[in-house]
Amino acid sequence: MTRIVKLENVDKRVTAALAAAGIHTVADLWMEIGADYPTGVKNLEKTATADQLAEILVAGARDPVPSPGKWNWFTFQLRHCWKELLAVVMTLILVALLAINIAGRLDTMVVMNGNGLPAFHVIDGSELRRAKMFRVHGSFASAEEAKGRYVITPVNEGDVLLEKQLGSKELKGQLTGRPTLTLSLPTGAIRSELTVGNHVTLVFQQKAGTKPATPVSLTEVSIRDVIVLAVNREPNASSLTVAVQNQTDLAKVIELSAVGDAIIVE
């Protein structure tokens, strides 16, 4: 292809103006003018006069006019329409990514309990509803995965249930049907070895000046097979959250804790 800057007797200002318009070769000029010569020349009148364009075409007469389908036609279009082509490519990529995300939405369990889930609530599955969502890290795909586990922090209605909001996996299935409660304990009553998941026995030591609501000796009562759910060791406010076996044990613990201090027997 003959480059216009290489032609003799062509005004350099015209060459520069054509180059600024993306016209570098005689083939480029023919492509810009198109099949309708008078109209094409008129469209370039701000770049060069009709006579100047004619001189260039005559000087480069040995450069054949490119026909559609040839490589030079493609490169010409690419140079002149690269912005439009880039926009089309980017649009196609975005549409493809959106389609992939829509097709790849996953089953995700959402809390649908009226008041959300309180801390230490044991999930039975009825509190959850399946929804289609984009990937949420740490979420559950089915209620069965979370069933039998307990919540360590309150979860609001409509929130996605997350792994980090639940207690130890090792207790999954062990808490079904067990009521939970939190006991305040005297300072130093919680051993350093006690940890979540331990099975312990609770006994009670009579508080000074108190007596049970029913005639029962505290030393004769022990609450067995109590599962530790959370341990709070504070200098002035230690507490223990536990799951007892049944409602009968729960009632006993509530009664006894009113008149006695809990002692943990491992």
The 10s digit of each residue's pLDDT in 156-169 is: 999 999 999 998 88
Tell me, yes or no, whether 143 and 184 share the same domain.
Answer: no
* Residue 241 lies inside a defined structural domain of this protein: yes
* Residue 117 lies inside a defined structural domain of this protein: yes
Q: How far apart are CA 88 and CA 139, in angstroms?
A: 36
- pLDDT for res 11: 82
* Residue 136 lies inside a defined structural domain of this protein: yes
* Residue 228 lies inside a defined structural domain of this protein: yes
Tell me, yes or no, whether 135 and 158 share the same domain.
Answer: yes
Tell me, yes or no, whether 62 and 93 share the same domain.
Answer: yes
pTM of the model: 0.53
Q: How far apart are CA 150 and CA 230, in angstroms?
A: 11
Tell me, yes or no, whether 9 and 82 share the same domain.
Answer: yes
Q: Which of 138, 169, 200 is the last residue of a domain?
A: 169
Q: What b/e string do you get for 53-79 counting C-beta neighbours within 10 Å, with b at 16 or more?
A: bebbbebbeebeebeeeeebeeebeee
Tell me, yes or no, whether 27 and 65 share the same domain.
Answer: yes
- pLDDT for res 1: 61
- pLDDT for res 164: 92
Tell me, yes or no, whether 34 and 78 share the same domain.
Answer: yes
Q: Which of 99, 119, 136 is the last residue of a domain?
A: 99
- pLDDT for res 161: 93
Tell me, yes or no, whether 66 and 117 share the same domain.
Answer: no
Structure tokens at 28: 């480029």
Minimal CA–CA distance to 11: which of 43, 55, 75? Answer: 55
Q: How far is CA 34 from CA 25, 45, 167, in A?
A: 14, 14, 74
Residue 241, φ and ψ in degrees, nearest 5: -100, 130
Q: What does the pLDDT average to over 79-99? A: 83
* Residue 175 lies inside a defined structural domain of this protein: no
**How many domains does the chain fold into?**
3
Q: Mean pLDDT over all residues of the chain?
A: 82
Tell me, yes or no, whether 194 and 245 share the same domain.
Answer: yes
**76 pLDDT band (50/70/90 cuts)?**
low
Tell me, yes or no, whether 162 and 188 share the same domain.
Answer: no
Question: Which residues make Cβ contacts (< 8 Å) with residue 28, sequence separation at least 6?
Answer: 18, 22, 76, 79
**What distance lies between CA 250 and its chain's CA centroid?**
41
Residue 54 has pLDDT above 80, yes or no: yes
| Residue numbers of the domain that contains 54 | 4-99
Q: Which of 122, 146, 169 is the last residue of a domain?
A: 169
The 10s digit of each residue's pLDDT in 91-136 is: 999 988 877 766 666 788 999 988 899 988 889 889 999 888 777 8
The 10s digit of each residue's pLDDT in 1-24 is: 678 888 877 888 888 888 888 888
Tell me, yes or no, whether 95 and 145 share the same domain.
Answer: no
Tell me, yes or no, whether 93 and 110 share the same domain.
Answer: no
* Residue 236 lies inside a defined structural domain of this protein: yes
Percent of the chain with pLDDT over 90: 17
Tell me, yes or no, whether 11 and 93 share the same domain.
Answer: yes
